[in-house]
Copies of this chain bind each other. A is one copy, B any other.
Amino acid sequence: MSLLIVGTVAFDAIETPFGKTDRITGGSGNYIAHSAGHFTHDMGLVSVIGDDFDQDELAYLKKIGTDISGIEVIKGEKSFFWSGKYHLDLNRRDTLATDLNVLANFNPVLPEHLRKPDFLILGNIDPALQIKVIEQLEARPKLIAMDTMNFWMDIALENLLSVLTKVDLLTINEEEARQLTGEYSLVKAAQKILTMGPKFLIIKKGEHGALLFHGNRVFFAPALPLEDVFDPTGAGDTFAGGFMGYLAKTKDISFDNMKRAVIYGSALASFCVEKFGPQRLKEVTQEEIEDRVQVFIEIVDFDIILE
């Protein structure tokens, strides 16, 4: 198993200034797999759904090389459902509904054959569950990455700090980095987080790009200035999925290769926001991805020769 993904597989209902959806598929694990599937077809996904979940979506996941034997189906129950409404400033959103449903009793169990992944990504779920997943591993992956959010800092800080000591890379947004460390300066926040366990840190800044920290090294990845951002739901997970998918494909966790992975993750995220849900991620071709990466290369390119 090249890449094991643990995260939610869910329904979302989304309203943005540009449109509105009824119940569509979503969830962190689902977005990660959709994105990583552009780089590797040797994935496993551990999650929980109700028997109401979309069979076409599961078929799609299998088609792109996802072992879904770790997705537990709870009969007679409903899948996790989230509903939100975005402001014109798409960085701001109001949650309209969070129906945990099957997620309330999620207890991730790794099937025997998924316990030795080369790479593991823990989507944004309860840190107690993230720990449970790590404890089931039979060999240490090359890299364990995790995502989290402010909610867990508020209600489960102790478990969050514990899982941090067990992972190699954390992805987090600016505000969360500040909340976790009490430091306003992102440089100081990063320095603190790098003493909490992870050796690598990615601070996601949405439309302003992302920062990758490792020791004293920093990489600043641009975000493309997009003409239209249609729906930002899942962009962070798509970024993480592209990042991990690229690492799983290249099997190289050097800082230089992680920089490339950040660019590929950013490219995938820039597609994700073009349509509602994971739709655009299903359509995008290798050629489109390469063309988008070329734009990333050009947009930050300058030549200054210092004496």
Is A142 in contact with chain B by the CB < 8 A criterion?
no
- Chain B residue contacts of A209, Cβ below 8 A: 208-209, 220, 222
Q: Flag the segment in A64-72, A121-129, A180-188 that touches B.
A: A180-188
Q: Are A302 and B88 in contact (CB under 8 A)?
A: no
Is A228 in contact with chain B by the CB < 8 A criterion?
yes
Encoded as 1 (CB less than 8 Å from any B CB) or 0, chain A from 220 to 234 comes to 111001111100000
- Chain B residue contacts of A186, Cβ below 8 A: 225
**Smallest CB gap from A203: residue in B:** B225
Is A259 in contact with chain B by the CB < 8 A criterion?
yes
Q: Are A226 and B263 in contact (CB under 8 A)?
A: no
Q: How far is the CB of A121 from chain B (nearest CB, A)?
A: 21
Find A300's partner among B220, B229, B260, B293 (CB 8 Å cutoff): B220
Q: How many residues of A are in contact with the other chain, CB < 8 A?
A: 39
Q: Are B211 and A225 in contact (CB under 8 A)?
A: yes
Distance of A188 Cα from B226 Cα, bound (Å): 9
Is A138 in contact with chain B by the CB < 8 A criterion?
no
Is A256 in contact with chain B by the CB < 8 A criterion?
yes
Distance of A283 Cα from B217 Cα, bound (Å): 27
- Chain B residue contacts of A208, Cβ below 8 A: 205, 208-209
Encoded as 1 (CB less than 8 Å from any B CB) or 0, chain A from 191 to 214 comes to 000000000000001001101000
Q: Which of A248-307 contact B (CB under 8 A)?
A: 256, 259-260, 262-263, 290, 293-294, 297, 299-304, 306-307
**Which residues of chain A have a CB within 8 Å of any CB of chain B?**
88-89, 184-188, 190, 205, 208-209, 211, 218-222, 225-229, 256, 259-260, 262-263, 290, 293-294, 297, 299-304, 306-307
28 contacts between A and B (CB under 8 A): A88-B184, A89-B184, A185-B228, A186-B225, A187-B225, A187-B227, A188-B227, A208-B208, A209-B220, A211-B225, A219-B299, A219-B300, A219-B302, A220-B299, A220-B300, A221-B302, A222-B222, A256-B302, A256-B303, A260-B302, A260-B303, A262-B302, A290-B307, A293-B304, A293-B306, A294-B306, A297-B304, A297-B306
